[in-house]
Structures are given as C-alpha cells and as structure tokens.
Chains A and B, each alone.
Chain A
Amino acid sequence: MHAIANAAAGYPRGIEPLEPPEPREYAQALRFDSVTCTFPGRTARAETYTAVRDVSLAVRDGEFLSIVGPTGCGKSTLLNVAAGLIRPSKGTLSVFGTSLKDGLNRQASYLFQVDALMPWKTTEDNIAAGLLFHGMRKDAALAQARDWLVRVGLDGHGRKYPHQLSGGMRKRAGLAQALALNPRILLMDEPFSALDIQTRHLMEGELLRLWSLDRKSIVFVTHDLEEAISLSDRVVVMSAGPATHPIAEFAIDLPRPRDVAEIRMTQRFLQLHAQIWGVLKTEVLKSYAHARV
C-alpha cells in the first residue's frame, strides 16, 4: 500500500451545503469545511493573526486521526473549533453530518494538554462531575466513576486530590473523566507531552486498549511524529504557521493491535516515518526560521 501524500485527498473543498448528504457523509464524525480562524492582534492596532486558513478535513467515524505539525502552528485552534470552544471566522464544522452553529460540540470530550482536573475535587468526584452535569444521580455517577478508576488503573486513588497524584495518574484521571461521558468523539491536545517517556508509552498503550473496546473517533494533536504513527490510522501534516493548513496525509497501514513501544522498531514504521518526516521537516525548518526572525 502506498501512503497518499496529496493535499486533502478525497475531500474536495467548497462542498455545497444544500446538496443532500450522501450516505457516506454520516460516517464522518467531524468535517471541517474551509475553516479559517483569524484572531485580533494583541496590540490596539488593527493587525490580525490568522492561525488556520482554509482547512478542509474530515474525520471518519471510528477513526484514529493524528494531526502533526511544527509547534505553534494552530493545531490546538483546530481542536478548539472541533470542540465548539471557538467559532471559525469562516467555514463550517459539521458533527455527524450536522453543522455546529453555536454552543459546544456535545458529541465530543476533550483532553487538554495541561492539567484540567478541578483541583478542589477528589479524583472520583472529578470523574463523576461530567455525569452529574448530564443529570445522573449522585450515587450512580459515583459508582460509575469508581468503575472508570479501575479501568484506567487508578483503583484506590479515588479519594485523593489531583495535587496528590503524579503527572501520569492525573492524565489517567483526565482520560477517565473524558471517557466516562461515553462521547462519540475524543479530542486530544498533546495529552502526554508533559510525561516522561516510559509513562508516555504506558499511557499510549492504555489509550489504544481503551479505544479498541468501542472505537470512538479520535483527533489526536501532537508534535511527536513517532507517537502519531504508532497510534493512528491516518496522519495529517500541517504547514508551519501562521495560516496553517493541511499539506499532506498518510494512511498508516500498520496492523492492530499494536504494541506502541515495539512497533517503532518495525520496517514499515521506519518507512512511514521517513516518508512523513520528509514532508514535516521542511515545515519545521520554516517554523524555526520564522521564530528566529
């Protein structure tokens, strides 16, 4: 099989919204149509900053999609658009075929790069919080939260506050918090970047194991290419910022189930890595040159 290194392959731009959706459209969990995000400048002058420009991208239902790109290229902006936390300046976002007009994306859970647990709640209360917000009764929510504690390997840590947990344990708690709501889409913003390499591999394995159970659609943003390849079905490479857009995408045809540590040694992995890095490298260099000016 050959990786497709073609800009936004298969997802033509400028789709007419009036056109009745084809059946396969429903198999798309998320769809960005010419999304552009422009922010007002920091200074009082009318300078604006375009983080992402004209992004068209679709995430299939049940797909594990990774987005890689140089740091500060607006990957997080895309996730925030997908979550409904920010509205695109132009273009639309569709969730399972329905355009997200206002409000948050209720189909999605979001795992942030920084710790986002409520520090004043215990681990189990943190996990139960989302269920409570969705109207579940307190005891039922807590029971379910304790189930999730076991599932993410935090059994016995439910009564601890976030500051009493290690970085990896906080990530597990965050994962449980996100998954407890049983979302159809999981958005992840460099969730493991703050962890040491061993913990990171453990967490990646854990994520794959949990994902394999019910195959949610995952959008995984990272700047770590190895992480992207070992986890995903498809890797999208973004251009250097500003005005980021996808420049290439690669299907990752490595067999599942995968061992995230061992798969990095296989021939096919190295081939894919070389191919994708070829594209990514020029962008990283551009971004580096830009930052030095």
Chain B
Amino acid sequence: MRTPVFDPRSKVAVQGTRIAVLASALFLWWLLTSRKWISPFFFGDPAGVFQRIVNWFVSGSVFVHLYTTLVETLLAFVIGTALGLACGLWLALNPFLAIVADPFIKALNSMPRLIFAPIFALWFGLGIWSKVALGVTLVFFVVFFNVFQGVREVSPAVLSNTRMLGANPRQLMWHVYLPSAMSWVFSSLHNAIGIAFVGSVVGEYLGSEKGIGYLILLAEGNFDIDSVIAGILLLTLFALVLDISVSLLEERVLRWQPGGGQTVDASA
C-alpha cells in the first residue's frame, strides 16, 4: 500500500500543497487576464503587479509611504494596547466603576468608529496623528474587552493564596492579575494588528499626503489597478510579519502554559 500523500503531519506535503494552491491561483489570474476572458483593466494582471512592486522598491519611491504606514500602525497598536490594558485592569478591579461605565463602553464599541476619521483629520490635521488616533480607537476596544475578561477569570484560589502569602495590591497586580490577563491580551493582539492597519490605511485614504493608503488612492484616481493590488499585497505582507512577531513574543511570554504534548491535570 502506498503511504498517504495527504498526511496533515507531513510538513513537506502541507507546504507543497500550500505553494501549489497559491501558484494555481496566480496562474488562473494570469490566464484569465492575459486571454482577456476578464478585463485586465479591472482585474490587473500578475506580471504588471509584480513589475509595479519591483519598480517601487528599485526606485525607492515606496519607502516613504511604507514607513509612514508602518509608523502609524505601530503607534496605534502600541498606544491602543497600552490604553486598553490600563483601562481594562482599572475597570476590572473597580466593580463600581465597571458598572457605571458599562453602558458608555457598550455604546462606544457599537458605534461605527471609522466615521471618526474626518473628525480626527480636523482635530489632528492630515499628518500621521489623525491616523494614529483612528487606529487607537479601533485597537483599544479589542484589547480592553479581553483584559477585562481576563482579570475577571483569575482563579479565586490563586488570588486568595497570593494574598495570604503577603502580596500587597501592587504585587497582586504584577504577580497575579497581569500574568493571568496576558493570555487573553495575546489572543486579542492578533486581531488588533489587522485592525491597526485598517485604521491607518482608511485614515490615509480619506486624507493624507503619504502612506500606502494614499498610494492606493492615487492609483485608483488613475485607474491603475495594478498599483492598487500591489499596495494591498504589500500591506498583507507586513500585517503577516507583525502577526508572526506577536506569535513569537507570545511563545516567550506564555511559556508557562501547557503546550502540545503536555496536558493540564483535570483536577487543577
């Protein structure tokens, strides 16, 4: 009998299939547009997109845009996460405050916050800070809700035990609440990265002079669909890189969690 080719544990088979899927998608795209079965004017063509990306990097014209978007995204990500973490901890440890703030937070969260972009543009100008502000409002809530939940889920036994060991409120924060909330925070950070990119690109799209969103807006004005797609691909690539770095950090910080092959005791 032949060994099964589609073994989910085989790295070669998995990676090979992935590459094959990607290659076929690109080939199909190329086939459809080069034969004019669909219009390359509306759908671009892979060779043109590739050409555009190479040109951007060779001429160096893309770096200022890339840099701007990355700075905006990272700032929004870091500030939003820090604020979400701080407010989440604060509210979770103040039951009264949490109950008072509850309807406001629900309202703010259900509000379509992208609509703030024009207001932020007025408040903070067309520079990077209006985009950062937009990104922060998006990232904040994702992190905030997760931290809030994470603190609520702290095991009461661990909490009582640590208090009995003599921890003061500050030490409880550092040794119990924060580490306990961390696994929740990291699961939210993966979402937060994508959302931070949304904030900067939409902000740039609505009014700016630099950034990938601005690049896409310009290309769209010229009906240059290849550049639009090239911009989208670049953004995807960088979002992926950031996501992987979060995963790496997560592995380091959450080393204490049972991973594959190690099971948690049911009585724990």
Interface residue ranges, A against B (CB under 8 Å):
83, 85, 104, 106, 108-110, 112-122, 129-130, 133-134, 161-164, 166-167, 170, 177, 181, 194
Query: Which residues on A sit within 8 Å (CB–CB) of B176?
Result: 118
A112 to B161, CA, bound (A): 8
Q: Is B17 an interface residue (CB 8 A)?
A: no
Known: A120-B180, A133-B171, A161-B256. A85 touches B163 (CB 8 A): yes
Shortest CB distance A109–B (Å): 6
Shortest CB distance B251–A (Å): 14
Known: A130-B165, A177-B165. A167 touches B267 (CB 8 A): yes
Chain B: which residue is nearest A195 at the CB level?
Answer: B267
A177 to B166, CA, bound (A): 12
Majority-rule SS of A interface residues: loop
Q: Which of A120, A129, A166, A194 contacts B256 (CB 8 A)?
A: A120
Map CB proximity to A onto B137-165 as digits: 1 under 8 Å, 0 otherwise: 00000000000000000010110111111
Q: Is B222 an interface residue (CB 8 A)?
A: no
Shortest CB distance B159–A (Å): 9
Known: A104-B164, A130-B166. A163 touches B264 (CB 8 A): yes
Known: A120-B179, A120-B180, A167-B267. A114 touches B157 (CB 8 A): yes
A133 to B166, CA, bound (A): 6
Q: Is B262 an interface residue (CB 8 A)?
A: yes
A177 to B160, CA, bound (A): 14
Q: Is B83 an interface residue (CB 8 A)?
A: no
Q: Is B179 in contact with A164, judged by CB distance below 8 angstroms?
A: no
Q: Is B264 in contact with A118, judged by CB distance below 8 angstroms?
A: no
Q: List 14 A-B contacts (CB under 8 A).
A: A83-B160, A110-B160, A112-B160, A115-B267, A118-B158, A118-B162, A118-B176, A120-B179, A133-B165, A133-B171, A161-B255, A167-B265, A167-B267, A181-B165
Q: Is B175 an interface residue (CB 8 A)?
A: yes
Q: Is B171 in contact with A112, judged by CB distance below 8 angstroms?
A: no
Known: A118-B179, A167-B267. A109 touches B256 (CB 8 A): no
Q: Is B268 in contact with A163, judged by CB distance below 8 angstroms?
A: yes
Shortest CB distance B145–A (Å): 22
Query: Which residues on B sit within 8 Å (CB–CB) of A181?
Result: 165-166
Q: Is B258 an interface residue (CB 8 A)?
A: yes
Query: Which residues on A sit within 8 Å (CB–CB) of B165?
Result: 109, 129-130, 133, 177, 181
Shortest CB distance A181–B (Å): 7
Q: Is B167 an interface residue (CB 8 A)?
A: yes
Query: Which residues on B sit within 8 Å (CB–CB) of A177?
Result: 161, 165
Known: A115-B157, A119-B256, A164-B262. A129 touches B267 (CB 8 A): no
Q: Is B3 an interface residue (CB 8 A)?
A: no
A108 to B164, CA, bound (A): 8
